[in-house]
């Protein structure tokens, strides 16, 4: 009986297990059947489905929007459209030299300082670090329900306008005066910002300000910049073409001013003709802030906001920074524009948002996984210091007074820029966690070996409100200098005197621009008084534009240019002054001797401007910078002829012939010696920054693009120009436009056939 009962029990248990398995199978089958339905429910509308192409999704979404909703999405502060699941988004964000205006961030040297590194690889690493922080910040903001200005992923940088005149206050935001250098650096900055994913942008970079835009600041809302086609094509346009063709920048910002009578944000030729048709630009165009209002208020090209808005959209300005586009409804009602024309802009804008991954699960977007801890991280801090070190330019070093020994004795640090952290940051800046001023950097460098004393010495400019009297400040400084063995004077300008459309009207400064290019009188007087004591003086400049330090160059033993060097400026300066780093920065702008050497500030013709056209003698030329070691160039190899349309290969051997390791910046220039139309005296066409140990040598190669051997002819067309060209290679630009020998410069003639 027990056996039978056991068998019965076993049979019943087996049947129960089988029924259980069958039930489980049914549940699994049901689950597998329902799962696709659930997914289908999740993506019931085409624009919600990540498996579809971006174009299909964008067209589907735009087709569901009302006219009012469309218009609302064409201004920088775009509201949410909840019925369609479109979150609010503000397109306005800044990261000129670090994520700006969004709290704590790594702050690199101001753009002009970045350019002084002449280092393409460094530019890519810096912008990669910036975009890492940008992505991390954006997702942290979104997680906390924040979608305000300066929290998005569309960045209005880099500023690639040509710094044609040192009086322009916003020149500090640029990469200098040369279109080739500017373009090459911009390409790397754009690539680092936008990333390398074929589907999703990391962030979006915006080339600005298109085009022919570089002051004066107070007149920018009504100013008409005038040039001929040659200057336009040779100077103002190339870097934009490079940023689009090579960098693949997905956004361009049109400027405030007119160019040759047309508003840059309302010119069919500039926007559709050149950018979209000629350069193949397929991204979106955004106006500078308030520039659409300028079309009718400042430039008076049309009579109303509706007309200005219609003109801007029809000619290609897709997004407005401002609110004038609210008047597009009136423009539609008056048949000034059609809804289909609005849709063209909407498509470009939503393609950008979809390609940023804003409508897809974060898990699908690799950039969304960047941790917030990358912000202000140790690797980024080290990169900020490396960049500051590489940006410093040694302008003078008489009798090799630098580097100083750390046990030099008593050091007097004097000057208004010695201990003000805001001066380090330039404009469009973030907030660093631990900025190091020159005074702090010097104190920490020589701690335990030398004593450091400090006095402000003077104000930046006489007449500044709420400042100590100048004579009192000077007396305090001279008392400190008496006790010193060496004096380090930190002088220059501040981003509160030079910058964008500022309310400044004081001696030497107007509306953000400069009216003179030497140091303010109070600073010059202090420098002369300290020099008169007989103590050795090291002059350190902190500024965003070239300064005519003529007396100082004649009388001060060492001069160091540090720009607005970012959060690590003081550390980097101390490393250079005391020999822990060998400076190798190069000037991205010409330092002129006098404002009298320059044409009128409002004259945009390039004649006698920048190193390419300047016929005078500069104080310090473009590309200039000294080192604590020496380099020798040899074995220049260049073909004797180059065919039309072909690139030219050039190589040269460089050896460190001094006793200290250091960087050298090899520079290649091309001069057209037989052109029958106006051409530059010389043009930079290659550069490379390399590191060499004492005695080490390396062969550096360049490939000079075929367009270096072309001209803009009398019909305003770019054509090959058969004839003789001079190729020069060295650590600086040549002083002569001939084949004569120059010490440290190698030259060869090439015939273009």
Q: Identify whether 318 is part of a domain.
A: no
Average pLDDT, integer, range 23-49:
55
Does 439 share its domain with 536? yes
Could you tell me which residue, 340 or 20, shows the higher pLDDT? 340
pLDDT tens sequence across 121-173: 999 999 999 999 999 999 999 999 999 999 999 999 999 999 999 999 999 99
Average pLDDT, integer, range 261-265:
98
Q: What's the chain's average pLDDT?
A: 94
What is the distance between the alpha carbons of residues 357 and 366, in angstroms, rounded to a whole number?
Answer: 10
pLDDT at position 35:
40
Confidence check: pLDDT of 3 > 90: no
Q: Identify whether 735 is part of a domain.
A: yes
Does 580 share its domain with 635? no
Residue 90 token pair: 């503000």
Q: Identify whether 173 is part of a domain.
A: no
pLDDT at position 142:
97
Confidence check: pLDDT of 45 > 80: yes
713 is catalytic: no
Task: Pick the catalytic residue from 234, 288, 320, 518.
Answer: 288
Does 714 share its domain with 600? no
Does 744 share its domain with 605? no
What is the distance between the alpha carbons of residues 146 and 449, in angstroms, rounded to a whole number?
Answer: 50
Confidence check: pLDDT of 4 > 70: no
pLDDT category of residue 1 using cuts at 50, 70 and 90: very low
From the number of C-beta atoms within 10 Å of its C-beta (0-12, 13-18, 19+), residue 66 rates as exposed
pLDDT tens sequence across 236-260: 999 999 999 999 999 999 999 999 9
Does 436 share its domain with 582? yes
Q: By C-alpha distance, which of 185, 269, 188, 112 is closest to 716?
A: 269
pLDDT tens sequence across 182-234: 999 999 999 999 999 999 999 999 999 999 999 999 999 999 999 999 999 99
Does 500 share its domain with 446? yes
Asked whether the whole model's pTM tops 0.75, one would answer yes
pLDDT at position 684:
98
- The residue out of 570, 586, 613 marking a domain boundary is 613
Confidence check: pLDDT of 10 > 50: no
Q: Identify whether 603 is part of a domain.
A: yes
What is the distance between the alpha carbons of residues 380 and 374, in angstroms, rounded to a whole number?
Answer: 8
Per-residue three-class SS string for 516-536: CCCCCHHHHHHHHHHHCCCCC
Average pLDDT, integer, range 717-743:
94
pLDDT at position 736:
86
What is the distance between the alpha carbons of residues 204 and 170, in angstroms, rounded to a whole number?
Answer: 22
Residue 508 makes CB contacts below 8 A (sequence gap 6+) with 461, 514, 515, 516, 520
DSSP secondary structure of 342-380: HHHHHHHHHHHHHHTTTTS-GGG-GGGG--GGGTT-HHH
What is the distance between the alpha carbons of residues 469 and 85, in angstroms, rounded to a whole number?
Answer: 61
pLDDT at position 39:
42
Q: Identify whether 468 is part of a domain.
A: yes
Task: Pick the catalytic residue from 132, 165, 470, 498.
Answer: 498
Confidence check: pLDDT of 30 > 90: no
CATH number at residue 458: 3.40.50.1700
Q: How many domains does the chain have?
A: 3
Q: By C-alpha distance, which of 136, 126, 180 is closest to 157?
A: 126
Does 669 share its domain with 605? no
Does 516 share its domain with 603? yes
**Do residues 545 and 493 make contact, with C-beta atoms less than 8 angstroms apart?**
yes
Q: Identify whether 476 is part of a domain.
A: yes
444: left (phi over 0), alpha (psi -120 to 50) or beta: alpha
pLDDT at position 511:
97
Confidence check: pLDDT of 369 > 50: yes
- Give the structural domain span for 724: 631-752
Phi and psi at 469, nearest 5°, equal -60, 145
Residue 247 token pair: 């960098």
pLDDT tens sequence across 83-110: 999 999 999 999 999 999 999 999 999 9
Does 732 share its domain with 603? no
- The residue out of 551, 583, 613 marking a domain boundary is 613
Does 489 share its domain with 560? yes
Does 561 share its domain with 665? no
Q: Are strands 451-455 and 410-414 parallel, antiparallel or unpaired?
A: parallel
CATH number at residue 730: 2.60.40.10
What is the distance between the alpha carbons of residues 370 and 260, in angstroms, rounded to a whole number?
Answer: 46
Average pLDDT, integer, range 334-351:
98
pLDDT tens sequence across 535-554: 999 999 999 999 999 999 99
Residue 421 token pair: 């952290």
pLDDT at position 542:
98
pLDDT at position 18:
40
Residue 422 makes CB contacts below 8 A (sequence gap 6+) with 494, 495, 496
Confidence check: pLDDT of 463 > 90: no
pLDDT at position 42:
67
**Do residues 725 and 749 make contact, with C-beta atoms less than 8 angstroms apart?**
yes
Does 675 share its domain with 706? yes
pLDDT at position 43:
81
498 is catalytic: yes
- The residue out of 613, 648, 664 marking a domain boundary is 613
pLDDT tens sequence across 475-508: 999 999 999 999 999 999 999 999 999 999 998 9
What is the distance between the alpha carbons of residues 290 and 320, in angstroms, rounded to a whole number?
Answer: 8
533-558 burial code (b ≥16 CB/10 A, e <16): eeebbbbbbbbbbbbbbbebbeebbb
What is the distance between the alpha carbons of residues 492 and 488, in angstroms, rounded to a whole number?
Answer: 13
Q: By C-alpha distance, which of 297, 303, 313, 325 is closest to 222?
A: 297
pLDDT at position 464:
78
Q: Identify whether 529 is part of a domain.
A: yes
Q: Identify whether 34 is part of a domain.
A: yes
DSSP secondary structure of 44-85: -SGGG-TTS-HHHHHHHHHHT--HHHHHHTTBSEEPPBGGGT
pLDDT tens sequence across 645-666: 999 999 999 999 999 999 999 9
Q: What is the CA radius of gyration of the chain?
A: 30
């Amino acid at each position: 009986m027990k056996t039978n009962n056991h068998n019965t029990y076993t049979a019943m248990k087996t049947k129960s297990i089988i029924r259980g398995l069958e039930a489980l199978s049914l549940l699994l089958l049901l689950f597998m059947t329902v799962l696709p339905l659930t997914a289908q429910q999740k993506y019931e509308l085409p624009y919600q489905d990540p498996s579809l192409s971006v174009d299909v999704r964008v067209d589907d979404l735009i087709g569901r929007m009302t006219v009012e909703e469309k218009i609302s999405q064409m201004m920088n502060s775009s509201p949410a459209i909840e019925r369609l699941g479109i979150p609010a988004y503000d397109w306005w964000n800044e990261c000129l030299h670090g994520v700006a205006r969004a709290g704590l961030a790594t702050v690199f040297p101001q753009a002009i300082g970045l350019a002084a590194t002449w280092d393409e690889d460094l530019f890519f690493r810096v912008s990669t670090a910036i975009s890492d922080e940008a992505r991390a910040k954006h997702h942290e903001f979104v997680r906390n329900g924040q979608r305000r200005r300066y929290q998005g992923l569309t960045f209005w940088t880099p500023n690639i306008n040509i710094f044609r005149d040192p009086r322009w206050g916003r020149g500090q935001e640029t990469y200098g005066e040369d279109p080739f250098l500017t373009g090459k650096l911009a390409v790397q900055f754009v690539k680092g910002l936008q990333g390398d994913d074929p589907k999703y942008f990391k962030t979006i970079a915006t080339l600005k300000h298109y085009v022919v835009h570089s002051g004066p600041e107070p007149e920018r809302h009504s100013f008409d910049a005038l040039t001929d086609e040659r200057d336009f094509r040779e100077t103002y346009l190339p870097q934009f073409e490079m940023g689009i063709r090579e960098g693949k920048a997905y956004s361009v910002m049109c400027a405030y001013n007119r160019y040759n009578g047309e508003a840059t944000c309302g010119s069919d030729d500039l926007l559709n003709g050149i950018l979209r048709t000629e350069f193949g630009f397929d991204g979106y165009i955004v106006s500078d802030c308030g520039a659409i209002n300028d079309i009718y208020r400042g430039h008076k090209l049309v009579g109303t906001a509706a007309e200005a808005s219609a003109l801007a959209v029809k000619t290609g300005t897709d997004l407005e920074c401002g609110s004038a586009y609210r008047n597009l409804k009136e423009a539609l009602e008056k048949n000034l524009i059609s809804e289909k024309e609005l849709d063209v802009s909407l498509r470009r804008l939503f393609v950008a948002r979809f390609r940023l991954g804003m409508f897809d699960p974060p898990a699908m977007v690799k950039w969304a996984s960047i941790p917030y801890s990358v912000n202000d991280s140790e690797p980024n801090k080290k990169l900020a210091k490396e960049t500051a070190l590489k940006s410093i330019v040694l302008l003078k070093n008489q009798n090799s007074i630098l580097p100083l020994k750390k046990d030099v004795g008593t050091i007097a640090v004097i000057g208004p820029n010695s201990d003000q952290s805001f001066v380090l940051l330039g404009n469009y800046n973030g907030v660093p966690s631990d900025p190091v001023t020159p005074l702090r950097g010097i104190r920490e460098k020589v701690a335990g070996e030398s004593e450091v004393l400090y006095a402000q010495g003077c104000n930046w400019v006489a007449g500044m409100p709420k400042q100590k009297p100048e004579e009192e400040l000077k007396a305090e400084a001279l008392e400190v200098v008496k006790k010193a063995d060496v004096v380090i004077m930190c002088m220059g300008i501040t981003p509160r005197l030079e910058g964008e459309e500022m309310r400044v009207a004081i001696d030497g400064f107007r509306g953000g621009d400069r009216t003179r290019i030497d140091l303010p009188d109070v600073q010059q007087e202090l420098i002369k008084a300290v020099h008169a004591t007989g103590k050795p003086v090291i002059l350190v400049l902190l500024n965003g534009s070239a300064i005519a330090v003529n007396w100082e160059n004649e009388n001060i033993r060492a001069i160091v240019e540090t720009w607005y060097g970012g959060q690590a400026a003081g550390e980097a300066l101390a490393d250079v002054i005391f020999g822990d780093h060998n400076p190798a920065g190069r000037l991205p702008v010409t330092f002129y001797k006098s404002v009298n050497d320059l044409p009128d500030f409002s004259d945009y013709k390039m004649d006698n401007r920048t190193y390419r056209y300047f016929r005078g003698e500069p104080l310090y030329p473009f590309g200039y910078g000294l080192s604590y070691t020496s380099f020798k160039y040899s074995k220049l190899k260049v073909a004797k002829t180059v065919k039309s349309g072909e690139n030219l290969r050039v190589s040269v051997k460089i050896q460190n012939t001094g006793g200290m390791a250091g960087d050298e910046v090899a520079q290649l220039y091309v001069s057209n010696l037989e052109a029958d139309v106006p051409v530059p005296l010389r043009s930079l066409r290659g550069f490379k920054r390399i590191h060499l140990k004492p005695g080490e040598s390396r062969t550096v190669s360049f490939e000079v693009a075929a367009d270096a051997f072309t001209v803009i002819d009398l019909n305003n067309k770019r054509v090959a120009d058969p004839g003789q060209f001079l190729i020069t290679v060295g650590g600086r630009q040549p002083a002569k436009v001939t084949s004569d020998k120059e010490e440290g410069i190698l030259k060869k003639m090439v015939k273009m056939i």
